[in-house]
Amino acid sequence: MLIIRPIAQADYSALLAVAKASGHGFTSLPVDEALLKRKIARSEASFAKPVSQPGDEGYLMVLEDDGKVVGTCGIEAAVGSSDAFYHYRLGKDVHVSERLGIRREVQILTLCNDYTGASELCTLFLLPQWRRDQIGRMLSRSRFLMLAAFAERFGDTVIAEMRGVSDEQGRSPFWQWLETHFFGIDFPTADYLTGIGDKVFVAELMPRHPIYVNLLSPEAQAVVGQVHESTAPALSLLEHEGFRFNNYVDIFDAGPTVECQRDQILAVQQVQRRPVQAVDEPHLAGDYLICNGRLPDYRVIRAAVHLTEADGPVGLSAESLASLGIKVDDPVWILPL
């Protein structure tokens, strides 16, 4: 059975394998032993911590298939709580001369911290062998169960940073322009430093004034707001949930950041809280995500259910009850896959 649960210290080796498989540009999982172990410890503390409003919590989960870790997903409660959270805001600068009859609109990139306090969907990665049978959709959608079941732990705005365009060697056309003119370090190095939390160099070396997009190299201009081909399916899933690009891009690869108000996310609106009952297998139908709504022993499974009247009990098999660690009459949160 597929089970999503909080990460634990015993998962370090599996997380390291996932980090290596994720490749360049996956900032939230750098291949760094100390950092990955800190991420695990922080997540364990976050799941165990009583929370009434979002702060510096990070929830990292793993997807198990018969005990084997095959993917990860996570949610940051409130970005920018402990360090600066940067974006470029894509806007316009208008130049007009009435006397000469000239009007020019130029796109500009302005460094900002506008998303401070927002919750972030992050660290979504599934090993290639499991990219089938809507398992990726399960992993992505499972986070909305948590947003619905524990709304007090998350911000009103939810964002997701999409990986921007880079090649197989990790070279980003956008970063290559910044590297040449301002930074002097390559994209994988900058990406790694950010992943381990060393962001001081951004404030020290980032251009202090807005960047005129038409002054970028043609290659850099072409990728502003564009998504990496391997991330396109994840973006499509989020767009279906109501997430939209609002002219914010990543400061390293210019990949798009998408946003949605938590209560306006389609999946969050579809989540139902119901008591549970045990039923026999022949009565089960459909394809649902079910979470137990418990911390720190959080669990999400994918299973068939038995539904009767609206707001009535949801029937689950004995195996599903055991996987969730719950008993009859306990509440569960359900979401159609």
CATH number at residue 242: 3.40.630.30
Q: Is 306 an active-site residue?
A: no
Alpha carbon distance 248, 255 (integer Å): 9
Residues 153 and 278 in one domain: no
Residues 117 and 260 in one domain: yes
pTM of the model: 0.88
> Under a CB-based contact definition with an 8 Å cutoff, are residues 22 and 30 in contact?
no
Angle separating helix axes 33-48 and 12-22, nearest 10 degrees: 120
Could you count the other beta carbons within 10 Å of the beta carbon of residue 129?
9
Q: How many distinct structural domains can be found in the chain?
A: 2
Alpha carbon distance 8, 61 (integer Å): 9
Q: Is residue 92 part of a domain?
A: no
Segment holding 14, helix H or strand E: helix 12-22
Residues 300 and 257 in one domain: no
Q: Is residue 101 part of a domain?
A: no
Residues 312 and 191 in one domain: no
> Under a CB-based contact definition with an 8 Å cutoff, are residues 155 and 119 in contact?
yes
Which residues make beta-bridge pairs with 257? 161, 248
Per-residue confidence in pLDDT tens, the chain, 337 aa: 899 999 999 999 999 998 888 865 566 777 778 889 999 999 999 999 999 899 999 999 999 998 899 999 999 999 988 888 889 999 998 888 888 889 888 999 999 999 999 999 998 889 989 999 999 999 999 999 999 999 999 999 999 999 899 887 778 899 889 888 887 777 777 766 766 666 666 767 777 789 999 999 999 999 999 999 888 988 998 999 999 999 999 988 899 999 999 999 999 999 999 999 998 877 788 899 999 999 999 999 999 999 877 778 899 999 999 999 999 999 999 999 8
Segment holding 75, helix H or strand E: strand 68-76
Q: Is residue 256 part of a domain?
A: yes
Q: Is residue 106 part of a domain?
A: no
Alpha carbon distance 315, 17 (integer Å): 37
Residues 33 and 145 in one domain: yes
Count of CA atoms in the C-beta half-sphere (13 A) of 78: 16
Could you count the other beta carbons within 10 Å of the beta carbon of residue 71?
25
The residue from 181, 228, 283, 306 that is catalytic is: 228
Residues 310 and 208 in one domain: no
Q: Which of 240, 267, 294 is the last residue of a domain?
A: 267
Could you count the other beta carbons within 10 Å of the beta carbon of residue 134?
13
Q: What share of the chain is helix, strand, coil (3-state, %, to 5)?
A: 35, 30, 35
Residues 196 and 292 in one domain: no
Alpha carbon distance 37, 73 (integer Å): 16
Alpha carbon distance 241, 142 (integer Å): 12
Q: Which of 226, 250, 267 is the last residue of a domain?
A: 267
Sign of CA dihedral 327, 334, 233, 243: negative
Q: Which of 267, 294, 319 is the last residue of a domain?
A: 267
Q: What CATH number is given to the structural domain containing 315? A: 2.40.40.20
Residue range(s) defining the domain that contains residue 51: 2-86+113-267
Residues 259 and 295 in one domain: no
Q: Is residue 105 part of a domain?
A: no
Could you count the other beta carbons within 10 Å of the beta carbon of residue 86?
20
